[in-house]
């Protein structure tokens, strides 16, 4: 038993060091003046499943995350409303080099796990593996009371839907290609993202530059 404990501790230490190879990504200040008019963005909104191979620029990534669920007021409120301002939705950015958590108050991406986990978001749809970014929207159901309660799940899903629509409209406004999806390997993503039992992956949004 003592030997087993030592082995487990060693494995945990290796995992910790491995994830620390990723560095925090300090995002640019969001450009709040960019994008087309709102009605035009809605008129041109569409889902697409082909992407250019280029990675997203830091400015595009910064603006995307702020538009999705960033802080837009000094009191800490967000671009996306949530039930009773519980702010239950966390955005995990799955990039080719690793998985990151968007820290909205600090406007930074915090490293969670090193490696390419786009395949866990893809499921059986291989086009996802070519996307520049996969955003996984996770609701912390404990913020709505009992995580097992049906109402908590419904409320969490609604809050995720609002953030998802922010992503859709932003992509349309600035010329990014995207598609919202519910397919993903939730069990494996829970492990990689180190989610609690109360945190539920609700939806993902896969995006990149239009394919030339």
pLDDT by residue (tens digit) across 94-116? 999 999 999 999 999 999 999 99
Each residue of 124-162: pLDDT tens digit?
Answer: 999 999 999 999 999 999 999 999 999 999 999 999 999
Structure confidence by residue, pLDDT tens digits, 47-76: 999 999 899 999 999 999 999 999 999 999
Identify the CA nearest to 108 among candidates 166, 66, 169: 66
Across the chain, what does the average pLDDT equal?
Answer: 92
Q: What's the pTM value of the predicted model, to 2 decimals? A: 0.89
> Taking the C-alpha atoms of 27, 28, 31 and 34 in order, what is their torsion angle to the nearest 10 degrees?
-80
């Amino acid at each position: 038993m003592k030997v087993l404990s030592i082995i487990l501790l060693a494995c945990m230490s290796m995992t910790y060091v491995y994830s620390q190879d990723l560095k925090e990504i300090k995002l640019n200040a969001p450009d709040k003046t960019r994008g087309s008019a709102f009605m035009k963005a809605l008129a041109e909104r569409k889902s697409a499943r082909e992407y250019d191979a280029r990675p997203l620029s830091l400015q595009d990534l910064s603006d995307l995350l702020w538009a999705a669920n960033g802080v837009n007021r000094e009191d800490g409120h967000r671009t996306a409303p949530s039930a009773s301002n519980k702010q239950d939705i966390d955005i995990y950015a799955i990039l080719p080099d690793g998985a990151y958590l968007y820290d909205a108050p600090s406007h930074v991406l915090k490293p969670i796990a090193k490696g390419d986990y786009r395949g866990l978001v893809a499921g059986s749809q291989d086009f996802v593996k070519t996307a520049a970014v996969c955003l996984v929207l996770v609701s912390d159901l404990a913020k709505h009371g009992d995580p097992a309660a049906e109402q908590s799940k419904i409320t969490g899903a609604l809050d995720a839907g609002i953030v998802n629509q922010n992503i859709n409209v932003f992509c349309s406004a600035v010329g990014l290609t995207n598609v919202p999806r519910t397919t993903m390997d939730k069990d494996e993503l829970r492990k990689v993202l180190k989610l609690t039992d109360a945190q539920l992956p609700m939806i993902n949004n896969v995006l990149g530059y239009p394919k030339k």
